[in-house]
Amino acid sequence: MARLLRVTGCTVVITIDGPSGVGKSTVSRLVARQLGLAYLDTGATYRAATLAILQSGIDTQDETAVVEELNHRTIDYDERGVLLDGESVAFAVRSEEVTANVSAVSAHPMVRSAVVEIQRRWVAFHEDQAVVEGRDIGTVVFPEAPLKIYLTASPSVRALRRAAESEAGGKSVAEISEALAARDHADSTREASPLKPADDAVVIDTGEMTVEAVVDSIVAHFLT
């Protein structure tokens, strides 16, 4: 696939949303690479915020204290992954402790508002030409994006995929399935920016598809 020409002033934002285990990160990176666009993992920005709060010892339920702490920290993203106060924390944000607390931190409306502004500034810095993955990108962060994708897969498929990853830490498929269900419930029922497909999103079930097929489908939708 030929790389697209980057046109200054032209908005080329592709949003890719969905729950854990549907292949968002892998697919988003490959789509960005094929189309010559920047790539942003917004979930990592919330994880970085969570890591900052855990480092500070602040109660994750105390929204005011959480926001105050984050006002003194910087979150960014580059080719190394997510940065906290200028240092790469790409591996640290994948810890079990961060995973267990990220839903609580990201559920605070004021936190989401602050992090969304970080994400929008990042995309603006990249000339509004990016593939952005997350859970509320097509519904909240970039609702006017020209192409919105929502990836899904059955709970059993998602649990099996996660069990095969190094982050699984030896957990059983049943344990992972239970954790995914809890995260799904927290994300889809929160008051601020619940997880759901945008009304005009293209919904793709990745359960029976190869990564290459999913990428090809998204690129085809973008080019039509």
- Fold annotation for 41-128: Rossmann fold (3.40.50)
pLDDT in tens, 167-208: 667 788 888 888 888 888 888 888 888 899 999 999 999 999
Indicate whether 3 pLDDT > 50.
Answer: no
| pTM, to two decimals | 0.86
The structure tokens 């990201």 sit at 106
CA-to-CA dists, residue 214 to 12, 16, 61, 208, 217, angstroms: 19, 12, 38, 10, 5
CATH 3.40.50.300 residue ranges in the chain?
Answer: 12-37+129-224, 41-128
Q: What is the CATH number of domain 12-37+129-224?
A: 3.40.50.300
Of residues 37 and 2, more confidence is placed in 37
The b-or-e profile of 181-217 (16+ CB within 10 A means b, else e) is eebbebbeebeebebebbeebbebebeebeeeebbbb
Report the pLDDT averaged over residues 1-17: 65
Strand partners, 86: none
